[in-house]
Structure 1
Amino acid sequence: MSIDVDAVRGQTRGVLRVTHLNNAGSSLAPGPVMDTVVGHLRREQEIGGYEAAEEAANRLEGVYSSVARLIGAGTDEIALAESGSRAWAGAVYGFPFVRGSRVLIGRSEYAGNVIALRQLARRNDLQIVVLEDDPYGQVDVEDLQRELERGNVAMVALAHVPMANGLVNPASEVGRRCRAAGVMFVLDACQSVGQMPLDVQSLGCDVLAGTGRKFLRGPRGTAFLYVRAAVLERLEPAMLDGHSAVLAGAEGFEVRGDARRFESWETSAAGRLGLGRAADYALALGLDAVQERVVGLAEQLRAELAAVPGVIVHDRGITRCGIVTFSVKGSDARNIRARLAEHRINVSVAPAFFQAGSLPVGTRLGEDMVVRASVHYYNTEAEIQRLVGVVWYLFAGS
């Protein structure tokens, strides 16, 4: 099964205006997704928000099934949220930490997650341990094993795909070792969902957070949380309302028995419907085919950038993905992004030390920031060549 690139580009209006290589930030949504969102908003305009939600009740319920199929989970193990960070934090803040216990993280952990863990460390007198990288830049699973054997580990938190450096961490091996040690494994899949197949059973994670706006091509302000049924009762949300719990007795309450205990009452029905449509769209294309095309385009981009004088490609890892990071000698990454934008090419910038720079683990590269170009299956080989040609013209040819 292969991707019909002409067909998906025909459903992606933005490709007529820009060369969009910022899919790790926010992808161009396909027409069916945006039609779903706008269609529901129009229905709210016509009959009212509550009434439109009631009318779409079956479709809204179906979103849980769509997301569950996307990652191989049960529908009762899925909660919906407004951002990947909120989804991730919903589970992590609900964990019953024992004072003085340890939390293991990778060097490439997302900064927002690190901030949350540092706050929890202050509250619970936790020790955050930064695991070493292996020679390929991935989290070192042997260092993980040594730390697990030292004991007193409450949780392992890992970014499946770091926001910059192109690699895919060996999450399944991490999951296997955490499960054997009886340690909670929390996986941030915000950069992996939508660009590769995910199966929570194979990954061995207890918690997984994903977002809609990146490679899944859903609307902004949408995300999801997976919590394995066997660990659900261990996690009590930091905040409850009339959706996540019910009053019981004179002074008590009962928390929901499914993952929706991490949701709140008010939400965007249109956004949720769009998220479900994005999951269905990805499933219909086939995530194996998506990954094959994304990896192929990314490797083409790395090879062609590496041939440009003065360009350094920084990606590492054994398994790599659609995120490509590079720098140009003597040029600031923010300036490169701005100059490319003048040519209607969208890229982003990222910290050279991959969001772990606030940790005492040292700087990875000589520059403070790198350029991040992230491809998707609707990009073309000609767009890759266009980016490389403009980089050559603006920077190598000057």
Structure 2
Amino acid sequence: MNTDKIRQDIKGLSDGKIFLNNAGSSLMPQVVLDSMINYLHQEEQFGGYEVANRNAELLEQFYDETAKLINCKSSNVAFATSATDAYAKALSSIVFKERDVIITTVDDYISNQIVFISLQKKLNVKVIRTKNLSDNELDLEDLEHLIKEYRPKLVAVTHIPTNSGLIQNVESVGKICRQYDVLYLVDACQSVGQLEVDVEKIGCDFLTATGRKFMRGPRGTGFLYVSDKVLEQNYAPLLLDMRGANWSEFDDYELFKTAKRFEHWEISYASLLGLMEATKYANAVGMQEIENYNRKLSEKLRQNLKNSRFNVWDWGNNLSSIVTFSGPDGDLENIQKVLKENNVFFSVTYKNSALIDFTNKNINGIVRLSPHYFNTVDEIEKVSEILKNSLK
């Protein structure tokens, strides 16, 4: 992996910033922006219909590149405008009835938790959360016990929570779900693009992701993976349009065969093309190379922060490229001030976005740094030194 060449492909690094907010919204490679601008220029000249027809084969590469990224077939991939859009469409394809059960975790993403609570309020669906072990890993025995007891309609797990570096054991969850034939939904919003994600190994029925984070694509993009089993059982979003089905009779329709049935007919093809180029870029670099390099950066940063007496709040045995911390006295304000003064890009998460996790940790918020494969070890050392000096 040629980090120097990768950095040359990013105009956003030319002003000397240290960009460590890839878990929020990363920096696009130049080829992503160029492809989108070129496509929009074509639309300016010829209109959207004509340009879509002229670029039909190129646009189809989105499905091929995404399939390569997560180890599936192109027919299992649907474009989405965000991970939340993909997640909502997956959920809407499941016919929930009163007293159906959803099993999730205490570390599931805030928007997922809210939509589960919404289903609970509107449809009287029961939401149950699995326990965590003392080391913060998922209690798989508890999960299996809950599945046996409640026979849930769905198990849903966030691969990497937005508020913590924890990587949840989604593959072991998948084995249990397959054993008991339970639908399984994985939110891979923070994992796709920063580490290898293999849907065959995970064994999920649905998987959702965004383009703007570690994938380094444009905002307003994402994708949904739908398994063959789910497609063959005719799952489809509640609100279909002509992208998803053929109007076959006055009062009936026939679903199209692929995951594109989860798309809407009107989408931004310039954005889809941008995400295709971002995915193609990641595939070319190699996800195993990216994962290994990211682990090196995050481990270095995490250790440096601990050595400088910061409180690091990433609890678990398998940690990701999201590093969360606060000052020795729980301070966040001074850390933010110092990072801003030194042109370091970061984000902050407060208790309302991670209510259960932060309540258990007895904290009100964290600063989040999320290095990625275009960052350098020198940048990690520089930021570590800046933060260390802020405590003096």
1:381 corresponds to 2:377: yes
- Which residue is equivalent to 2:186? 187
Q: Which residue of 2 aligns with 1:63?
A: 62
Secondary structure, in 3 states, of the residue corresponding to 1:153? coil
Residues 349 and 365 of structure 2 are in contact (CA less than 8 Å); yes or no, is this contact kept in structure 1?
A: yes
Q: Output one character per residue of 1:181-206: Cα deviation in whole Å (capped at 9) or x when no partner.
A: 11011000010001111111110111
Q: Which residue of 1 aligns with 2:71?
A: 72
Matched, 1:4 2:2: yes
Aligned partner of 2:111 in structure 1 is: 112
Q: Provide the residue aligned with 1:295 in structure 2.
A: 295
The aligned residue for residue 94 of structure 2 is: 95
CA distance in 2, matches of 1:266, 1:245: 14
Name the CA distance, whole Å, in 1 between partners of 2:30 and 2:358.
44
State whether residues 330 and 363 of structure 2, in contact with CA within 8 Å, keep that contact through their aligned partners in structure 1: no
Q: 2:354 aligned with 1:368, yes or no?
A: no
Other-structure match for 2:268 = 268
Q: Distance in 2 between matches of 1:46 and 1:319?
A: 51
Identity of aligned residues (%): 35
Q: What runs of 5+ residues in structure 1 fail to find an aligned partner?
A: none
Q: 1:234 to 1:338 in 2, by over 3 A?
A: farther
Task: Report the AA paired with residue 324 of structure 1.
Answer: V
Tell me how far apart the structure 2 counterparts of residues 112 and 335 of structure 1 sit (CA, whole Å): 29
- RMSD, aligned α-carbons: 1.6
The amino acid that maps onto 2:383 is L
Q: 1:334 to 1:230 in 2, by over 3 A?
A: farther
1:89-135 deviations in Å (ceiling 9; x for gaps): 10112102232121111111001011111222223221100111122
Amino acid at match of 2:370: S
1:332, distance to aligned residue in structure 2 (A)? 4.1
Aligned to 1:204: 203
The equivalent residue for 2:306 is 306
Decide which moves more: 114-123 or 341-350: 114-123
Task: Read off the aligned partner of 1:13 and give its amino acid letter.
Answer: K
Residue from 4, 13, 16 that aligns with 1:15: 13
TM-score (norm 1): 0.94
Q: Are the counterparts in 2 of residues 322 and 376 from structure 1 also a CA contact under 8 Å?
A: yes
1:42 match: secondary structure = helix
Q: How has the CA–CA distance of structure 1 residues 228 and 334 changed in structure 2, closer, same or farther, with 3 Å as cutoff? A: farther
Deviations 1:246-280 (A, max 9, x none): 32212222232221111111111111011111111
Question: Does the 8 A contact of 1:80 with 1:223 survive in 2?
Answer: yes
User: How far is 1:362 from its partner?
Assistant: 7.2
Matched residue pairs, number? 390
Distance 2:187 2:105 in 1: 11
Q: Do 2:358 and 2:364's aligned partners in 1 also have CA atoms closer than 8 Å? A: no
Deviation at 1:341, TM superposition (A): 1.9
Q: 1:179-233, CA deviations, whole angstroms, 9 ceiling, x for partnerless residues?
A: 1011011000010001111111110111000111111111111100001011123
1:339 Cα deviation (Å)? Answer: 3.6
8 A contact 2:338–2:387 mirrored in 1: no
SS at match of 1:190: coil
**Structure 1 contact 219–275 (Cα < 8 Å) conserved:** yes
How far apart, in 2, do the equivalents of 1:107 and 1:367 lie?
16
Q: Which residue of structure 2 aligns with residue 159 of structure 1?
A: 158
User: Comparing 361-370 with 124-133, which one deviates more in the overlay?
Assistant: 361-370
For 2:381, the aligned partner's letter is Q
Question: Runs of 5+ in structure 2 lacking a partner?
Answer: none
1:109 and 1:335 map into 2 onto residues whose CA distance is 29
